[in-house]
């Protein structure tokens, strides 16, 4: 057996961000996916660096009491879930521990104590899923990408999908893709979307523009495949670098506000926000309502009350429009033109007249410091890469309060360090479990300029459940 493949033994001590279990071998940190704290395992090296080893568990010799039988037969092959082998209670506890450690170590908040995590339904929470498609002579292969790979793990079902999304995947998608027209189109991905209200939407992505004959063929296959569903579903095609257009039903290519999947960001249901095809929205709709409620609590408890609010990376208005019910004026900024168009239409549909939206690159927008003046509160909801340039601009502009919604604690800490050095303290911070069965950690952090950092007891978590 080659030296790099020798079987070795260790005990897993903890979980780390990224999902792996951490153990030590001859003084080096060893990271092993799909392990649990307390496992004693046999393992081998896959890649060795100067200070750590990336390995693979070959056998669990003594299982941890935290272990739970994975529900999905594809677990360990599909790259979507990392922690199905843990009980949900253990997942949330480790997310809280990992989040606290990252905030102390990387953001420099030594006395930091986050609020208790907001728990989620552990299954059937995803309102949107994106499946990869690979074509073979025998037909299409549909599934998720394998972990750390570009190859596809074919799946027949996914326990994270909401029932309507799962039904389209299980009963309709394969029939559409097996049509002669779909083979000509060579679709490379399929996204299924639903919301709190409205129907579902299936979006097929392809490389070139399709001719009318192929479009009609796919539409015919869609009509046949979707006929037995008891809920409305539209089918869209999106050529690469182009806008999506509808082919079924009524192939006029228009986005219909009334028929689109829509989210209800307030649990009262008083706001209804339509989602554009492939537009960003939180896939866990239950947790989205709780996240919005936390934002609303942060605005209400801010003194003096912020008359003007700026929402950076606003999307289709998920935070902007609820915030507009508490402020005199809200401005939303996002680079995605289709999302801004949807935000404008959502404001009109909900009769909100004090919110305006601008399509612009957020990093470019904040370079004009005049545009950052006069806002009592800034909402910051960047992508996973964070917003270091925006954080620096906000540190200079010094708005009284910043609410930072993050989906990556590492980039959050990098950005918070900039704001901390500029005199901001944490009023409260709450992890929100947006993605059960995975290592991902969403959070909302409220920062006030000139304030000392708060503690977990100050969070309004009990009021959002």
Do 431 and 456 touch, CB atoms closer than 8 A? Answer: no
Q: Is 172 labeled as catalytic in the residue annotation?
A: no
Closest CA to 196 of 270, 144, 247: 270
Closest CA to 177 of 204, 144, 157: 204
- Beta strand 28-32 pairing with 308-312: unpaired
Could you check whether the bond before residue 249 is cis, i.e. omega within 30 degrees of 0?
Answer: yes
Do 244 and 278 touch, CB atoms closer than 8 A? Answer: yes
Other beta carbons within 10 angstroms of residue 57's beta carbon come to 19
Closest CA to 246 of 193, 189, 202, 191: 202
Contacts of 337 (CB under 8 A, 6+ apart): 359
Give the active site residue among 57, 78, 158, 407: 407
Do 432 and 444 touch, CB atoms closer than 8 A? Answer: yes
Q: From CA 154, how far away is CA 426, in angstroms rounded?
A: 44
What's the Rg (C-alpha) of the chain? 24
Q: Which residues are catalytic, by number?
A: 407
């Amino acid at each position: 057996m080659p030296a790099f493949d020798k079987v070795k033994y260790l005990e897993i001590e903890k979980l780390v961000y990224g999902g792996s279990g951490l153990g030590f071998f001859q003084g080096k940190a060893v990271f092993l996916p799909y392990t649990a704290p307390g496992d004693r395992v046999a393992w081998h090296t896959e890649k060795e660096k100067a200070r750590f080893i990336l390995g693979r568990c070959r056998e669990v010799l003594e299982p941890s009491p935290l272990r739970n039988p994975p529900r999905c037969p594809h677990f360990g092959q599909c790259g979507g879930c990392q922690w199905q082998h843990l009980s949900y209670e253990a997942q949330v506890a480790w997310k809280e521990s990992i989040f606290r450690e990252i905030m102390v170590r990387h953001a420099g908040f030594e006395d930091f104590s986050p609020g208790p995590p907001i728990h989620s339904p552990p299954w059937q929470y995803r309102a949107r899923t994106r499946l990869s498609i690979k074509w073979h002579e025998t037909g299409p292969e549909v599934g998720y990408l394998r972990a750390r790979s570009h190859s596809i793990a074919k799946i027949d079902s996914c326990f994270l999908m909401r029932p309507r999304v799962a039904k389209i995947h299980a009963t309709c998608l394969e029939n559409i893709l097996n049509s002669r027209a779909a083979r000509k189109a060579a679709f490379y991905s399929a996204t299924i979307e639903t919301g709190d209200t409205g129907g579902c939407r299936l979006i097929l992505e392809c490389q070139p523009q399709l001719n009318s004959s192929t479009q009609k063929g796919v539409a015919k296959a869609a009509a046949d495949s979707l006929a037995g569903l008891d809920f409305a579903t539209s089918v869209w095609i999106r050529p690469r670098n182009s806008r999506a257009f509808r082919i079924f039903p009524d192939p006029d290519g228009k986005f219909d506000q009334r028929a689109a999947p829509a989210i209800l960001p307030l649990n009262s249901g008083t706001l209804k926000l339509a989602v554009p095809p492939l537009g960003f929205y939180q896939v866990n709709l239950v947790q989205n309502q709780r996240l919005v409620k936390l934002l609303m609590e942060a605005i209400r408890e801010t003194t003096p009350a912020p008359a003007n609010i700026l929402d950076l990376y606003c999307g289709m208005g998920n935070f902007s429009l609820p915030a507009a019910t508490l402020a005199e004026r809200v401005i939303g900024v996002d680079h995605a033109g289709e999302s801004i168009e949807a935000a404008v239409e959502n404001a009109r549909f909900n009769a909100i007249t004090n919110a305006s939206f601008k399509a612009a690159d957020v990093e470019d927008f904040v370079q004009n410091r005049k545009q950052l003046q006069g806002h009592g509160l800034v909402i910051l909801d960047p992508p996973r890469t964070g917003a270091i340039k925006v954080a620096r601009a906000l540190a200079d502009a010094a708005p009284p309060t910043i609410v930072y919604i993050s989906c990556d604690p590492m980039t959050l800490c990098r950005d918070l360090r900039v704001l901390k050095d500029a005199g901001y303290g944490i009023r409260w911070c709450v992890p929100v479990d947006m993605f059960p069965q995975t290592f991902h950690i969403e959070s909302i952090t409220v920062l006030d300029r000139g304030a000392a950092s708060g503690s977990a007891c100050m969070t309004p978590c009990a009021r959002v459940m």
